[in-house]
Amino acid sequence: MSDTAQQNKASRGVSRRRFMAGTSSIIGAVSLAGRAIAAEAPLVTAAASIPSGAHVPVLVIGTGYGGSVAALRLAQAGIDVQMVEMGMAWDTPGSDGKIFANTTSPDYRSYWLRTRTKQPISNFLGFPIDKDVPRYTGILDAEEMGQIIVYQGRGVGGGSLVNGGMAVTPKRENFGAILPSVNADEMYGTYYPRARAGLGVATVDPTWFDSTDCYQYARVGRKQAQRSGFPFVFVPDVYDWGYMEQEAAGTVPKSALAGEILYGNNYGKKSLQKTYLAQAKATGKVTISPLHKVTSVSPAAGGGYTVLIDQINTTGDTTATKTVTADRVFFAAGSVGTSKLLVKLKATGALPGLNDQIGKGWGDNGNVMCGRANHLWDPTGALQSSIPCGGIDNWTAGGAFAEVAPLPTGIETYASFYLSITNNPNRAQFSWNAATGNVDLNWQTAWKQPGIDMAKSIFDKINAKEGTIYRTDLFGVYKIWGDHLTYHPLGGAVLNKATDNYGRLQGYSGLYVIDGSLIPGNTSVNPFVTITALAERNIEKIIATDL
Ligand code: FAE
């Protein structure tokens, strides 16, 4: 059935049975779409995993944006780098011939050590859509930290494996509020351009955007935003736009147009595996140990640091405990990973000299989600690219920047869906819980309210103008706001507070933070370009002065 025929046939009150049928037709299409393309040269060589007793010049904890920038630039400066990653390598196809699972059919590959999925959109038409899956070291961690679920990528490539690739540079006038101690001229003149080049950032061709079925949902988003007086802006991405055009033409296996996102993209997305990490590996000076989790870092007797590492299997059991020494250690475990490690190490006496800023300044980048129900004359399309390409900018007037996001179910839903980044001022703190032996985060659900109010500055107005209503069936029964989660954890080891102005941890020479935990809770847009650019700035200084 053609898309148009499908749209004509669909009704606004689409049934659960039709949703499921639509979903399985996506799955069918995907399984015909051909073999997954494995990385040309594997990033990880199994035999190369770090042996206990090893001594390395530099150990990097985590393989996301910060870690990948550090590894590449250190290696280019001639230094051997050992990267340690708790997630999998994600370079081997599963039994279906694909490396990554589809969004509409999560399986064992999808979630980090869970026996039931925890999908960000938990309901459809009010029905819960989570399902049981085998416990496995899957790609997406839905980490429950107090009253918020923090979604994070797990594996070689970190968040780049699961994210939407939206590669946004904040407006310069907002930069002073994002990183007040950093020279904006240097960032906008040198490090943002360097980061965008390293990541392969590009923008959709506006002519193609205007004609392709797969962005009908975004065109509806643009039309409605503009009718309410909000600017709609194209948002750059690291997805290969030329590849997406070929997907639409039917000449290559589909990824964005098969609804792939959240659990990995088999084609088209330039994750770190294809950019910074591939370049780092090509230097011959970078080794990556996947399924290795750092549990401790403490000063070593003869100088440098002792690093304790659990090697785990795919059900999460520890199969070996390794002790290595490193002259220098870069914490790049992500905002939550780095904060949890540092808070624990300070509290338990491994790194008692860390300062009292450790664990503070954590924010959710103001994330809130919502859907709107459109009229029958505003269908959003049965075919939706999973890669968002535009947003509604009401930051200055209302404190919100809303991605016009897809709802790639494979059927016409008449829904518009949005992930808003808001200027929510609330900040939380990580602390050590001696009773449970865990690190807690004191974020409260009610702290999302300022973000909801800011998002409403856009969507109340659009609903009033269009005569439409919010969807109430996506996050529960009669629940409008997705206020239980974040995709964008930031802070916990804030630059120029927990560290000096380049990420050197106060109190310990040779220990550095180089990931999203440096950023105090908000970037005004999607964060990974800023994380990458800041890492580029800091590592340049560290290489020039410390090594
Ligand atoms: P990250 O990429 O999280 O990497 C940290 C790595 O460290 C991970 O691979 C961990 O598995 C690993 N790790 C953690 N603890 C340990 C340990 N103890 N030992 C060894 N390894 C460890 O950190 N951002 C955008 O800008 N645009 C988007 O479109 C976008 N979409 C998103 C969609 C989703 C579903 C999600 C979850 C996130 C999205 N983000 C997006 C956020 C973005 O991916 C995130 O800000 C960055 O990945 C954070 O980069 P870091 O280098 O801080």
- pLDDT for 315-362, tens place per residue? 999 999 999 999 999 999 999 999 999 999 999 999 999 999 999 999
Which are the contacts of 54, defined by CB distance < 8 A and separation ≥ 6? 82, 324, 325
Give the sign of the dihedral formed by CA 157, CA 163, CA 166, CA 171: negative
pLDDT digits (tens, 9 = 90+) for 145-164: 989 999 999 999 999 999 99
Calculate how far, in angstroms, residue 506's C-alpha sits from the geometric centre of ligand 1.
Answer: 24
Calculate how far, in angstroms, residue 19's C-alpha sits from the geometric centre of ligand 1.
Answer: 31
In a domain, 152, yes or no: yes
pLDDT digits (tens, 9 = 90+) for 86-114: 999 999 999 899 999 999 999 999 999 99
Band (pLDDT 50/70/90 cuts) for residue 365 is very high
In a domain, 60, yes or no: yes
Q: What is the DSSP letter of 402?
A: E
pLDDT at 41: 67
User: What span, in angstroms and rounded, lies between the C-alpha atoms of 256 and 325?
Assistant: 42
pLDDT at 46: 59
Atom of ligand 1 minimally distant from the CA of 529: 26
In a domain, 95, yes or no: no
Res 34 pLDDT > 70: no
Calculate how far, in angstroms, residue 413's C-alpha sits from the geometric centre of ligand 1.
Answer: 30
Q: Which of 85, 143, 403, 540 is catalytic?
A: 403
User: What span, in angstroms and rounded, lies between the C-alpha atoms of 107 and 84?
Assistant: 26
pTM of the predicted model as reported, rounded to 2 decimal places:
0.94
CA distances to 224, 234, 381, 390 from 167, rounded to whole Å, are: 24, 11, 24, 11
Query: C-alpha dihedral over 72, 76, 82, 84, to 10 degrees?
Result: 0
221: three-class secondary structure by DSSP = helix
pLDDT at 464: 98
Q: Among 39-48, 81-90, 272-281, 438-447, which stretch is predicted with the lowest mean pLDDT?
A: 39-48
Strands (E) across 303-356 are located at 305-312, 318-331
Res 19 pLDDT > 80: no
Calculate how far, in angstroms, residue 538's C-alpha sits from the geometric centre of ligand 1.
Answer: 19
Res 31 pLDDT > 80: no
User: What span, in angstroms and rounded, lies between the C-alpha atoms of 77 and 258?
Assistant: 41
Atom of ligand 1 minimally distant from the CA of 164: 29
484: three-class secondary structure by DSSP = coil
Ligand 1 pocket test: pick from 163, 166, 270, 538 the residue with the most ligand atoms within 8 Å of its Cβ. Answer: 163
Nearest CA to ligand 1 atom 4: 64
User: What span, in angstroms and rounded, lies between the C-alpha atoms of 72 and 406?
Assistant: 33
Res 547 pLDDT > 90: yes
Q: Look up residue 372 and give its amino acid.
A: R
In a domain, 94, yes or no: no
Band (pLDDT 50/70/90 cuts) for residue 6 is very low
Q: Has 412 been annotated as catalytic?
A: no
464: three-class secondary structure by DSSP = helix
* Structural domain containing residue 455: 1-89+101-547
Considering the chain, what percentage of its residues have pLDDT values greater than 90?
90
Q: 132: which strand partners?
A: 116
Residue pair 112/139 in contact (Cβ under 8 Å)? The answer is: yes
333 lines ligand 1 (CB under 6 A): yes
Give CA 527 to chain center in angstroms.
9
CA distances to 213, 309, 377, 379 from 8, rounded to whole Å, are: 14, 57, 10, 9
Question: Which contacts (CB < 8 Å, 24+ apart) does range 239-246 have?
Answer: 239/165, 239/265, 239/268, 239/269, 239/270, 239/387, 240/200, 240/268, 240/269, 240/270, 241/202, 241/203, 241/204, 241/205, 241/208, 243/267, 243/268, 244/214, 244/268, 244/385, 244/387, 245/205, 245/208, 245/212
Q: Which residue has the tokens 């950023």?
A: 519
CATH number assigned to the domain comprising residue 85:
3.50.50.60
Res 443 pLDDT > 80: yes
Q: Among 123-127, 199-203, 267-271, which stretch is predicted with the lowest mean pLDDT?
A: 123-127
162 lines ligand 1 (CB under 6 A): yes
pLDDT at 382: 97
In a domain, 370, yes or no: yes
231: three-class secondary structure by DSSP = coil
Q: Which of 448, 313, 430 is nearest to 369 (CA)?
A: 448
Whole-number average pLDDT of the chain: 92
Q: Which two tokens stand for residue 203?
A: 């923008």
Q: Look up residue 389 and give its amino acid.
A: C
Q: Look up residue 206 and give its amino acid.
A: P
In a domain, 478, yes or no: yes
Q: Give the total number of structural domains in the chain.
A: 1
Residue pair 272/70 in contact (Cβ under 8 Å)? The answer is: no
In a domain, 140, yes or no: yes
Q: Which residue has the tokens 């518009």?
A: 416
pLDDT at 33: 29
Res 124 pLDDT > 90: no
Calculate how far, in angstroms, residue 103's C-alpha sits from the geometric centre of ligand 1.
Answer: 18
152 lines ligand 1 (CB under 6 A): yes
Q: Which of 85, 412, 466, 488 is catalytic?
A: 488
Q: Has 144 been annotated as catalytic?
A: no
